[in-house]
Amino acid sequence: MSDMQNDLRELYQEVIFDHNRRPRNFQPMETPTHSAEGFNPLCGDHFIVYLRVDEDKVVEASFTGQGCAISTASASLMTEAVKGKGLDEVEALFRDIHAMLTDAHPEHRDFGKLEVLSGVREFPARVKCATLAWHTLHNALEQSGEVAKTE
């Protein structure tokens, strides 16, 4: 592995540790317009995602629950990423993140801070941890009322 890859990996880990230690938007929402529950039985990650949508825009996003470092950091990064975005953008981001995490050769796109999640591609068992919050977000917006499961 090159030094640059090593540096990148360290940076990614740092961001994930930071978001796991101090998750952003980690609180229940009193009056969400959308919410959904997500569960990853392989790891035990279990979250509820809350959204407030106004005029086709996510104006607030938060989550509660418990999970491993990857799932918690992913949920934290997700709530930051979707806040202020239009529903179309959020749906596109869900699809792109899912592709980034699950495709062997994803199309290149600049994911900004969310790029840190790409490190889990090397660990197939952890991919479900990283995608859980995103599946839950997707279900919340679809209002399916189903518990999002990663399988």
Of 68, 98, 102, 106, the one binding Zn ion by CB under 5 A:
68
Indicate the residue among 43 and 87 with the shorter CB distance to Zn ion: 43
**Rounded distance, CA 13 to CA 7, Å?**
10
Shortest Å, Cβ 74 to Zn ion: 9
Q: Tell me the C-alpha distance between 140 and 14, whole Å.
A: 29
x/- contact string, 114-133, with Zn ion (CB under 5 A)?
---------------x----
Sheet hosting strand 45-54, strand order edge to edge? 57-66, 45-54, 34-40, 148-149
Contact map string, positions 33 to 52, toward Zn ion, x by CB under 5 A: ----------x-x-------
Closer residue to Zn ion, CB minimum distance, 44 or 84: 44
CB closer to Zn ion out of 39 and 94: 39
Question: Under rule CB under 5 A, how many of the chain's residues touch Zn ion?
Answer: 5
Q: Which is nearer to Zn ion, 58 or 129 (CB)?
A: 129
Q: Which residue of 35, 62, 71, 76 would you call a contact of Zn ion, by CB under 5 A?
A: 71
Alpha-carbon distances, residue 91 vs 96, 146, 151 (angstroms): 9, 18, 20
Are 59 and 83 spatial neighbours (Cβ–Cβ below 8 Å)? yes
CB of 96 to Zn ion, least distance (A): 21
Dist CA 24 CA 82 (whole Å): 12
Q: Report d(CA 100, CA 108) in Å as an integer.
A: 9
Query: Which positions touch Zn ion (CB under 5 A)?
Result: 43, 45, 68, 71, 129
